[in-house]
Amino acid sequence: MLEPQSRRHLLEALRPPPGYTLDCAIGTTFSLDLLTLLTAPLAFTLFDWEDEEGQPTGDPLALLEAVRRYAERISIFCHAGQIAVPKGNQPLFSYLESSVFAVTPRQSGRVFHPKLWILRFTTDEQAPLFRLLCLSRNLTFDHAWDTVLILEGEYIERRNAYSSNHPLGDFVAELPRLALRPLPKKVLADINRVQHELRRVIFEPPEGFDEIYFWPLGIEGTKRSWPFAARERHLDRMLVVSPFVSDSCLQQLAEECNSRLLISRPEELDLLESGSLERFEHVYVLSSAANPQEEADEVQSDITQEHLSGLHAKLYIADAGWKARIWTGSANATYAAFNGNVEFLVELVGEKSRCGINAFLSQAQGQTSFRDMLQEFTPSEQAPDTKQKSLERMVELARREISVARFAAQITPVDGANTFRLSLRIEEGYSLSLPQGTSVRCWPITLHEAAAITLATDSLDLATFSSISFEAITSFFAFEIIATEDDERAATRFVLNIPLTGAPEDRRERILRSLLSSKERVLRFILFLLAEGGTDASAILLATRARLSGKEGNRSKGIELPLFENLVRALDRNPTKLDQVSRVINELMKSPEGLQLLPEGFNSIWEPILAAREGLKK
């Protein structure tokens, strides 16, 4: 928990326990980076695809198989209009189109802000295992200070649910009602099963804690919206860690106990009334040494007002007698967070000596403490740019209007089967009204920004992209909003996942063929699927890459990769790997072009192996 000497990467937190596989995953986030989501399925494979820095490896075969195998098991709910524009085209983004769903809170002007992963793992021998990740981090690559709480528990088949889990189950059950469009039947079935089973899971508290409470905020039927009521909790002292703050919320927090500490961002604290800060004994900000600096090309700060570096954790620690209570999750110390936003907090209770404020801020011998990263806040004398703020509000209003608009995209073949026209429309009966002084342009994320078209908002036909290739077909559209006044300018970019009709029925097969565009690549992919994982898979990838490039050298010396032997080994040790190979072969065999990609003589080797595999199933 915000230990400077301890880092946990998302892929590590998502990885199944030994012997388990992912059945389904439900994730919620305010903002979303498609590349981050694209690499998440790597965690669910049997391979270790992180480098020494904790970043996912870039091998396209590992990514291809992970996404093909797991994308349909992942459902991500993101606040409408908060998907970042990717830096480049990635054909595998097409596999994510049925995994991303836009949602908005019921209360106008509020945001969908929870950061949760709910993972259901299965095994042949035991009951399903659930893992809950409650984060303060969005599903993006960033370098901010964040928190992650990991809870695990086994599903207990019983008639009566555990009442303490009802808030968590209710939160999951509410997701379809927050979605802007009807969800696919499979997603609805997954949500219904997960919300039912979550109510029958005993989650183990983390070490040092003995109680867990779930606090969903902003969903229908939620009676509790203020977790810190002193009359129920008997709070003595409180530490508030929040990157975004408001006067009214801080004043309400100050009323719950007599002693208070605050940690936030300097630019947020500068906006507060002086009386709000006077109620806190100490007000801290992160020192400059604690703020990691990103390279300019790594930052996509136009996606959201929440910055991608510095403090991003939301944490409330209260001393209550001999106990300590900690709330962690997505809710900032703002009025909106507890009055209309959809948020999620988890409350943990443990001994104050181990989990209280002093324990959090104290320094262990030989280690850097979080207190070492802090400095007292000093107000800035710089006046805010009111004109710039006004332009930013205009841009945000336009973003909200576009994000909830009833768009539809249509694919039409042009001059044969390999060229298409992609049209963006507003559904009949709906309109698009933008603030005066703003302009909007859009483009499919598979095309370069130079192909962007300014929206024709006075017509149902908003934009048409002619003569695009099959590979450029996508339901992801990038939008750019610009507001200008005199010499000042505000802008933002984001992506919407728009319902797409008319796409070729064999689109997935053709995408696979485009990625496996030669016999050598198909052979390499088959060998990759047959690998045992970890070191074995890495060795095969290195060896085949070197062999096919003619640069075998010492790295591949002594590594032999005969196809028949690998197939026989898989039949003996792990026959399910042959099922993965069979899926690929069947997809390739659906067209003459795919048949041409199979290695020479493959059928004579494959058919007896496949027959033996089918025999094992009987």
Residue-wise pLDDT tens digits, 566-605: 888 888 888 888 988 898 888 888 888 888 888 888 888 8
Most confident of 275-289, 317-331, 367-381, 548-562: 317-331
Cα 589 from Cα 581, distance rounded (Å): 12
Of 2-11, 27-36, 172-181, the least confident: 2-11
Tokens 């790597």 correspond to 42
Q: What is the mean pLDDT of residues 142-157?
A: 90
Cα 514 from Cα 517, distance rounded (Å): 5
Q: For residue 483, which of 390, 400, 404 has the smallest C-alpha distance?
A: 390
- Structure tokens given for 566: 């690998």
For residue 425, what are the β-bridge partners? 408, 461
- Rounded to a whole number of angstroms, the distance between the first and last alpha carbons of the chain is 50
Contact between 114 and 329 under an 8 Å Cβ cutoff? The reply is: yes
Residues 6+ apart with CB under 8 A from 542: 555, 556
Is 90 exceeded by the pLDDT of residue 411? Answer: yes
Q: What is the pLDDT of residues 254-287, one digit of tens each?
A: 998 889 999 999 999 999 998 899 999 999 999 8
Q: How far is CA 128 from CA 9, 175, 528, 535, in A?
A: 24, 22, 29, 29
Q: For residue 112, which of 26, 52, 175, 56 has the smallest C-alpha distance?
A: 175
Q: For residue 114, which of 240, 217, 213 has the smallest C-alpha distance?
A: 217
Phi, then psi, of 350 in degrees rounded to 5? -155, -175
Question: What is the C-alpha radius of gyration for the chain, rounded to an integer number of angstroms?
Answer: 26
Q: What is the pLDDT of residues 110-119, one digit of tens each?
A: 999 999 999 9
Contact between 70 and 22 under an 8 Å Cβ cutoff? The reply is: yes
Average pLDDT across the chain, whole number: 85
Q: What pLDDT was estimated at residue 2? A: 44
Give the percent of the chain with pLDDT over 90: 50
Q: Which is higher by pLDDT, 568 or 151?
A: 151
Confidence of residue 246 (pLDDT cuts 50, 70, 90): very high
Tokens 């008639």 correspond to 159
Residue 248: which H helix or E strand, with range? Answer: helix 247-254
Cα 98 from Cα 81, distance rounded (Å): 17
Q: What is the pLDDT of residues 413-462, one digit of tens each?
A: 987 668 999 999 999 888 888 888 889 999 999 999 999 999 987 788 89
Q: For residue 254, which of 232, 224, 235, 280 has the smallest C-alpha distance?
A: 280
Phi, then psi, of 328 in degrees rounded to 5? -135, 150
Q: What is the mean pLDDT of residues 81-88?
A: 92
| Residues 494-532 as b or e (16 or more Cβ within 10 Å = b) | bbbbbebeebeeeeebbbbbebbeeeebbbbbbbbbbbb
Write down the pTM of the prediction: 0.87
Q: What pLDDT was estimated at residue 531? A: 73
Residues 6+ apart with CB under 8 A from 69: 41, 44, 45, 580
Q: For residue 65, which of 617, 526, 590, 504 has the smallest C-alpha distance?
A: 526
Cα 466 from Cα 458, distance rounded (Å): 20
Q: For residue 61, which of 80, 78, 47 has the smallest C-alpha distance?
A: 47
Cα 590 from Cα 26, distance rounded (Å): 32
Q: What pLDDT was estimated at residue 366? A: 63
For residue 424, what are the β-bridge partners? 409, 463
Phi-psi region of 208 (alpha: psi -120 to 50; beta: other; left: phi over 0): left
Cα 283 from Cα 277, distance rounded (Å): 7
